[in-house]
């Protein structure tokens, strides 16, 4: 996910709270400082070192602090005054309401040793990538504070700091390079002339880490002769010789991205279609302060794998040899409904593996 979307999420958390009428609690008057980019290995943690300063002329008694991380990171805030929202497919947000007074001109920070606020890099985070973290702080009504007993995220006083930007800030977590392997996913078509059926093809992450946010792997799907498309899959557009399908979501290890076409058999054909995937290229993830990055079209890059779209049986053909027909039938039972993965292993060689649907 791009940094500008995290910035939008941060701004959303600063919108006025229902029942909050005092302009002294406006987000722009609760200043955040101390955030800096860090480099963290997979499976490790980084403390969120942030200082809050009350630049208003009234006392703020309750503070809502939000920490929004790009997928690949995980906020660690196991405190009774914090909640974690994982419903957004692209970001995870921890929200903590701190029942603590901050007088005019006073400053406070989150401890980095006792009850710290942490960000964890997931074990399967793809790289290289600078993962985005957005932090916001705003005054909230008394009613939002929790009374649940247990450990709470708290602030400790520090020396006042000079006036600076408002109550939203961000930093980056750099994760090193990893190898992501994408396998093309083909399929077999069965039926007679005039039949319609669904065809699900695409790709699967066969590596040990997730795809890097901002990349757009593609699958170029070409149909066998004798098959016409009745429904173009979502995420696919007509392209020279077939359909270009773009994966926009992050794929974790073993996760597939399949595209659901509707097809009709219109002829007796023996040709084979193909699914050819390309890894794509990362788009900008660290925009200049003046604006967000421009998302250009997906870069197909160099084809990295392919798989076949083939026929379950030659349509309209009948066997004249009973024994051969029986053997073929047994083979079809073993392969029935299978999805084939074909991964290139050296020039001119393919390894076919069948898995149950």
Q: What's the pLDDT tens digit per position in 285-330?
A: 333 333 333 333 333 334 468 999 988 755 445 433 333 333 344 3
Longest Cα–Cα distance in the chain: 94
Sheet (strand 242-246) strand order: 187-189, 303-311, 273-278, 218-222, 242-246, 236-239
Cβ–Cβ < 8 Å for 296, 143: no
The architecture in CATH of the region 3-175 reads Sandwich (2.60)
Task: Give every residue of the chain whose pLDDT is below 50, as ranges.
Answer: 1-5, 7-28, 282-303, 315-316, 318-357
pTM above 0.85, yes or no: no
Contact 217, 279 (CB under 8 A): yes
Query: What is the rounded CA–CA span in Å between residue 323 and residue 319?
Result: 9
Nearest to 74 by CA among 173, 180, 154: 173
Q: Mention every residue, 6+ apart, whose C-beta is less than 8 A from residue 283.
A: 2, 214, 215, 216, 293, 295, 296
Fold of 182-355: Immunoglobulin-like (2.60.40)
**Distance from the first to the final alpha carbon of the chain:** 30
pLDDT of residue 315: 46
What are the boundaries of each domain within the chain? Answer: 3-175, 182-355
State residue 313's pLDDT score: 58
Hey, do 3-175 and 182-355 end up sharing a CATH topology, with the first three levels equal? yes
pLDDT at residue number 269: 67
pLDDT of residue 232: 97
Which of 142, 303, 288, 120 minimizes the C-alpha distance to 219? 303
Residue of 87, 84, 108, 99 lying closest to 32 (CA atoms) = 108
């Amino acid at each position: 996910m791009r940094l500008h979307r995290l910035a939008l999420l941060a701004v959303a958390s600063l919108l006025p709270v229902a029942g909050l009428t005092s302009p002294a609690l406006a987000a722009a008057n609760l200043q955040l400082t101390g955030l800096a980019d860090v480099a963290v290995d997979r499976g490790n943690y980084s403390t969120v070192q942030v200082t809050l300063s009350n630049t208003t002329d009234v006392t703020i008694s309750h503070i809502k602090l939000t920490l929004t991380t790009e997928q690949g990171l995980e906020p660690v805030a196991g405190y009774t005054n914090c909640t974690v929202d994982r419903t957004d497919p692209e970001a995870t947000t921890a929200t903590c309401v701190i029942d603590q007074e901050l007088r005019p001109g006073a400053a406070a920070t989150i401890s980095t040793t006792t009850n710290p606020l942490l960000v964890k890099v997931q074990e399967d985070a793809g790289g290289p990538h600078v993962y985005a973290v957005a932090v916001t702080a705003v005054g909230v009504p008394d009613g939002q504070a929790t009374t649940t007993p247990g450990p709470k995220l708290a602030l400790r006083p520090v020396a006042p700091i000079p006036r600076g930007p408002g109550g939203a800030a961000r930093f980056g977590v750099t994760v090193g390079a990893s190898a992501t392997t994408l396998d093309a996913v083909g399929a077999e078509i069965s039926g007679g002339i005039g039949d319609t059926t669904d065809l699900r093809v695409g790709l699967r992450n066969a590596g040990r880490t997730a795809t890097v946010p901002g990349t757009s792997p593609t699958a170029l799907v070409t149909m066998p002769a004798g098959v016409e498309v009745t429904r173009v899959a979502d995420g696919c557009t007509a392209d020279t010789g077939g359909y270009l399908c773009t994966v926009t979501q992050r794929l974790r290890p073993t996760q597939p991205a399949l595209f659901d076409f509707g097809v009709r058999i219109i002829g007796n054909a023996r040709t084979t279609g193909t699914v050819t995937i390309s890894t794509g290229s990362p788009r900008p993830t660290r925009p200049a302060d003046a604006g967000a990055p421009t998302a250009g079209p997906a870069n197909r890059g160099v084809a990295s794998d392919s798989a076949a779209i083939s026929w379950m049986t030659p349509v309209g053909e009948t066997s004249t040899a009973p024994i051969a027909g029986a053997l073929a039938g047994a083979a079809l039972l073993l392969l029935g409904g299978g999805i084939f993965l074909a991964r290139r292993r050296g020039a001119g060689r393919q390894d076919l593996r069948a898995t149950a649907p």
